[in-house]
């Protein structure tokens, strides 16, 4: 299959496929024609489907998908390794769990306040530099 055929088949853009080739060389490196055009085998098509399943359906990062697929483990047979916030809370009485959740919420709030201040500072700097640019003209 050519790059345009395989991209049309799985519904991605050619630049996306080339990106995946760089990150999954052992699974996707295409053969080349004499003219230098990429040619993909049926095996590479199956590998691409596995990559897309990991990234798009299971929401794995590139690194997580690389680890899973390049170790030779089929994405169809292993549950996602991503943890959610509930998995990080150990078994404990409700009152203790509530305390842990409240502490995490406080941390997030504090982080958001810092991010809001940073955004505000960046906006002020952008606006100030815009005014200086207008004065120069």
Domain coordinates of the chain in residue numbers? 3-70, 85-136
pLDDT tens by residue, 63-82: 999 988 875 544 444 444 44
pTM value? 0.51
pLDDT tens by residue, 6-20: 999 999 999 999 999
Mean pLDDT is lowest, of 5-14, 49-58, 126-135, for 126-135
Q: Name 100's Cβ contacts closer than 8 Å, sequence gap at least 6.
A: 89, 92
pLDDT recorded at residue 19: 93
pLDDT of 96 above 90? no
Per-residue pLDDT, averaged over 101-113, amounts to 78
Determine whether domain 3-70 maps to CATH 1.10.1660.10.
Answer: yes
- Burial level of 3, CB count in 10 A (0-12/13-18/19+)? middle
């Amino acid at each position: 299959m050519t790059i345009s055929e395989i991209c049309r088949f799985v519904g991605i853009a050619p630049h996306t496929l080339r990106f995946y080739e760089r990150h999954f060389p052992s699974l996707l490196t295409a053969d080349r024609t004499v003219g230098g055009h990429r040619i993909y085998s049926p095996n590479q098509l199956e590998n691409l489907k596995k990559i897309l399943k990991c990234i798009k359906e299971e929401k794995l990062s590139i690194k997580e998908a690389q680890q899973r697929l390049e170790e030779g483990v089929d994405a169809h047979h292993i549950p996602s390794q991503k943890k959610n916030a509930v998995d990080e809370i150990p078994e404990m009485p409700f009152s203790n769990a509530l305390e842990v959740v409240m502490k995490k919420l406080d941390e997030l709030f504090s982080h958001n306040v810092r991010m809001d201040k940073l955004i505000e500072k960046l906006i002020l700097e952008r606006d100030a530099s815009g005014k200086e640019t207008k004065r120069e003209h």
